[in-house]
Amino acid sequence: MLLLLLMDPANLREVLLTALPAEKVMNLARALGVVERESVIELDELVNALVLSSRTPAGGRQADVLRAYAQATGVEPVRGTFYARFNAELESLLERLVRDSMQTALADPVLLPLSIRGVKDWLAIDSETVQLHPSLASVYPGTGDYAAVKVHKAYSLGRNNMVEFQFSPARDHDSSWFHVSEAMRGFGLLMDLGYASHRRLMDCQQFGVAFVIKLKTGWKARLTSVTEGEVAELFRGTDFAEALSFGQLSCQDGFIDADVALNRGAYSLRLVAVETPEKKLCVFLTNLPREHYSPAVVGDLYRLRWEIEKSNKLDKSDFSLADLSCRKVCSARTMLYASLLGSVIIGRLVHADHCTLAATKGPLTRGPIHARLLAMALAAMNASISTAIADGAPPGPVWDTIARKLAHLSRDPNWRQRPSVFDVLHGFTASRGRPRRQKTFKRTGN
């Protein structure tokens, strides 16, 4: 049981050394003609500080990286010299590192709960908007009189990680940056209403892509048959919303499962309505087969789209990317790449932990690693981790100690009481156990 309680030191070392390879960084330094001396910023240490230390209450800013660099190296560079390092070359390096790490993550095994298997993987599609300094508005205009960049992401539920991304001005609509193609055949998509279009859903049908998306307000979903639901008086071709409002159709045991025609009969889909505890209806469109995906599972699937929202929060809250103060485009993009690389590293570590839990026989004695707690733990231990990476520490006591501390700091104290939907579907749950014994304090008088 001891092995279950610890983060695997060998895997931790492999993930960090693969994502932050000192040799690759220094090869680039030599290619740029950098002469290593005490007065020159060491690129490998700078990259480590960027990726591992930005998760502070005021993270995501160059000043925080400077403090972390000084703490890890013992060198206090001149601020102007340090900031001058945030140039196009460093941006190019960080982009290369994050894309290489995503390719490595794609080699990790896909782990999906049994109830939602049947696809190669489920991908959640979404974007996050990061506000920038107003001086960058000419390159990254927002929807108002401010500057902002939009990060479009594809997030793999089976690998707990981002597998694709691209940047655009924040004023660009999400939908214009995502296209369904033959390359996605056999995958599943979870999309919010920002990606709702008849053309996209018909493309999913054409290319064999499964999906779950909410029914967009104003779309006419004409009922052709009802498999599950209380039917009073219903005519074929009745609009779903009208049938509900006139009491012709209602839930049966909390669900409605029907077939509908959309876009004036251009294509047909399955419609699933799930009643919430507040007696409200969440209505979804999907092409998933009924024999393998019940209405309840369809509802759970859409709730799993929250995983990409958690990934966005990891980027923005733990790196404070919502308030970047960089005044150079290359500096802003460097910070964005560093944030995404840090999230990929955390995703790989969390996924390895999920695989360990899934292979566990018998009841669990601890919950999954909490991604945001792990992010803060990496920041707290930045100096020792950076030193281990820079020194090329072999497997052994150094990595054992780091792994043990990270595992302790990233344990979620609430996993028994509030498991996520993903944890429940995976079976990463346990009984709440007995409440802690309350201590009794005697009040003493004077």
Span 402-445, pLDDT tens digits: 999 999 999 888 888 888 899 999 999 887 766 555 554 455 55
Q: Is the pLDDT of residue 392 over 80?
A: yes
Burial of 90 (0-12, 13-18, 19+ CB in 10 A): buried
Dihedral angle sign, alpha carbons of residues 79, 81, 82, 86: positive
What is the value of pTM for the model shown? 0.90
What tokens does 150 get?
């939009």
pLDDT digits (tens, 9 = 90+) for 86-123: 888 888 889 999 999 999 999 999 999 999 999 999 99
Using pLDDT thresholds of 50, 70 and 90, give the confidence band for residue 4. very low
Cα separation, 175 vs 233, in Å, equals: 38
Q: What is the pLDDT of residue 109?
A: 96
Q: Is the pLDDT of residue 306 over 90?
A: yes
Query: Beta partners for 225?
Result: 259
Average pLDDT estimate for 333-350: 93
What tokens does 230 get?
């209380």
Q: According to the per-residue pLDDT averaged within each range, which of 164-168, 364-368, 440-444 is highest?
A: 164-168
Average pLDDT estimate for 234-260: 92
**Amino acid type, 294:** S
Q: What is the pLDDT of residue 38?
A: 42
CB atoms within 10 A of CB 21: 17
Average pLDDT, rounded, for the chain:
87
Burial of 215 (0-12, 13-18, 19+ CB in 10 A): buried
- 130 phi and psi angles, rounded to 5 deg: -120, 120
Average pLDDT estimate for 128-138: 92
Cα separation, 123 vs 158, in Å, equals: 8
3-state secondary structure of 37: coil
DSSP letter, residue 273:
E
3-state secondary structure of 211: strand
